[in-house]
């Protein structure tokens, strides 16, 4: 044995790993300085370096696993060696209970290993599925993410995508509709596939760091706690919402009650009638679901968006705060809304994480039952502007007070007066409180304080469900 030759060999191998590539640079940006440790560094060096870099490091206080596809090696093609490296990361994450970040930039599988790659893809998908809801998974699409890789990415809890990247199951050139936006970040965001779109790679990775910082390490770990400070504009934002409750800007209300500069909106371009966001309240992570405006459309996509977000929060025991202000589900003959509305109701009912609802404006019909009812929530609060009704307010008045509208000189004014009377006598916040349907009617400016008290009170919540393999109402 010649030690000198062995050391030269080691230096040669290390030299290959020190070559700057986009994949390696991205990992350096993702992790805290000098904390990334590469795994299986020399795998695939016999012929050519493998098309993926795998390892672990620290993002703040959190240990995180990651893999980054390398377009400089075999065009980032997923090979047998490549797949084995990725599988190792999932296995270690499963054993240690730490999050996984997957950086996608590849033209697909190596065709020469077709059958082996089909099996390898299946193994990776199975491993990812097995730890779904156990550790947070974040997919980051920074180049091409196609075919089975797209399925892998979309199986993550959150998908972050750079504007220049591509994401598709079938190449846009071969699909029938020839949509000009197909495969783009814009298209993926508007269809609910992508959680966050970033201008470039660095901003995308910074968004990942923010997400990791507010998420727990796994489903058994508590969410991190931070120093907190209130939004100095909170009272003015709340006052603006109350003054025009029918056109309440949900994100503004979330920003008013959350810690300053802590709101991370999820799926902002999808189903804009509802806002979903992670934020901090008194330093603790909270998931917000909020109807964007009473006159906004609360259709099938909004139900899908809210249901998935609630299930994600529930998986990691993140409290869910729902700010309700909706006339109910969209009036449509499309049966898809029935299915998606059922999924939303099921997501809330099944969730065992702390659930708090604040009825800000209208809460009508089935939407109230799903998103605000005391049966589905641990604490239900209401603003004085709240109105709870089985049917729309105008429709209820037409049905119950039709005779009083006959002969009215100004039908619109008469109807508005009857709606106010109906709210004051039957559907308003104070009547709901008298009947025990809400736990308290609060001054809107006290919403943050009320949420802090409720979240602290529910911190030790424990709730069990009947033993079963899984529920069957979310597909």
pLDDT digits (tens, 9 = 90+) for 331-363: 777 778 888 989 999 999 999 999 999 999 999
**Residue 328 pLDDT exceeds 60:** yes
Query: Percent of the chain at pLDDT above 70?
Result: 90
pLDDT per position as a tens digit, 114-167: 677 778 888 999 999 999 999 999 999 999 998 888 999 999 999 999 999 999
Q: Is 60 exceeded by the pLDDT of residue 255?
A: yes
State the Cα–Cα distance between residues 396 and 407, nearest whole angstrom: 19
Q: What is the pTM of this model?
A: 0.92
Cα–Cα–Cα angle for 84, 89, 90, nearest 5°?
95
Long-range contacts: 309-313, Cβ < 8 Å, 24+? Answer: 309/266, 309/267, 309/276, 310/344, 310/347, 310/348, 310/351, 311/347, 311/350, 311/351, 311/474, 312/157, 312/158, 312/287, 313/287, 313/351, 313/353
16 vs 201, residue with greater confidence: 201
Q: What is the mean pLDDT of residues 66-73?
A: 88
Higher pLDDT, 14 or 148: 148
Stretch among 17-21, 252-256, 418-422 having the lowest mean pLDDT: 17-21
The pLDDT value given to residue 120: 81
Instruction: Return the minimum-mean-pLDDT range out of 159-168, 230-239, 359-368.
Output: 359-368
Provide the pLDDT for residue 297.
Answer: 63
Q: What is the pLDDT of residue 317?
A: 96
Query: How do residues 176-221 score in pLDDT, each as one tens digit?
Result: 566 778 889 999 999 999 999 999 999 999 999 999 999 999 999 9
- Has residue 15 got a pLDDT over 70? no
- Average pLDDT, rounded, for the chain: 88
Mean pLDDT along residues 265-291: 96
Is the pLDDT score of 46 beyond 60? no
């Amino acid at each position: 044995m010649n030690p000198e030759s062995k050391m030269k060999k080691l230096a040669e191998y290390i030299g290959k790993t020190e070559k700057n590539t986009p994949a390696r640079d991205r990992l350096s940006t993702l992790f805290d300085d000098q904390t990334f440790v590469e795994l299986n560094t020399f795998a695939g060096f016999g012929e050519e370096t493998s098309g993926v870099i795998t390892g672990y490091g620290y993002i703040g206080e959190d240990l995180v696993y990651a893999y980054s596809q390398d377009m400089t090696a075999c065009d980032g093609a997923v090979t047998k060696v490549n797949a084995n490296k990725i599988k190792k990361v999932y296995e270690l994450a499963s054993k240690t209970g730490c999050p996984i970040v997957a950086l996608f930039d590849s033209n697909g599988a190596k065709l020469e290993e077709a059958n082996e790659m089909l099996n390898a893809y299946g193994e990776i998908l199975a491993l990812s599925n097995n730890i779904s809801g156990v550790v947070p998974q974040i997919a980051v699409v920074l180049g091409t993410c196609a075919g089975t890789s797209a399925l892998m990415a979309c199986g993550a809890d959150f998908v972050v995508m750079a504007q220049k990247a591509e994401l598709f199951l079938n190449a846009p050139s071969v699909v029938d509709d020839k949509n000009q936006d197909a495969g783009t970040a814009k298209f993926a965001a508007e269809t609910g596939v992508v959680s966050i779109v970033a201008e470039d790679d660095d901003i995308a990775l910074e968004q990942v760091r923010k997400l990791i910082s507010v998420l727990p390490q796994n489903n058994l770990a508590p969410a991190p706690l931070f120093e907190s400070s209130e939004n100095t504009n909170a009272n003015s934002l709340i006052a603006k919402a109350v003054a025009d409750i029918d056109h309440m800007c949900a994100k503004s209300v979330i920003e008013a009650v959350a810690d300053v500069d802590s709101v991370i909106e999820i799926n902002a371009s999808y189903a804009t009638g509802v806002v979903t966001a992670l934020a901090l309240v008194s330093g603790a992570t909270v998931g917000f679901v909020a109807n964007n405006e009473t006159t906004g459309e609360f259709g099938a996509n909004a139900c899908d968006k809210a249901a998935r977000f609630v299930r994600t929060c529930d998986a990691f025991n993140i409290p869910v705060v729902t700010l309700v202000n909706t006339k109910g589900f969209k009036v449509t003959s499309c049966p898809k809304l029935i299915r998606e509305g059922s999924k939303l109701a099921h997501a809330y009912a099944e969730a065992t994480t702390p659930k708090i609802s604040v009825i800000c404006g209208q809460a009508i019909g089935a939407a109230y039952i799903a998103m605000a009812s005391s049966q589905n929530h641990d604490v239900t609060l209401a603003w004085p502007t709240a109105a709870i009704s089985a049917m729309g307010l105008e429709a209820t008045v037409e049905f119950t007070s039709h005779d009083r509208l006959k002969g009215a000189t100004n039908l619109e004014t008469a109807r508005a007066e009857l709606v106010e009377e109906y709210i004051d006598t039957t559907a308003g916040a104070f009547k709901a409180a008298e009947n025990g349907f809400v736990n308290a009617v609060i001054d809107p400016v006290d919403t943050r304080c009320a949420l802090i008290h409720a979240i602290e009170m529910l911190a030790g919540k424990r709730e069990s469900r009947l033993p079963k393999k899984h529920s069957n109402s979310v597909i």
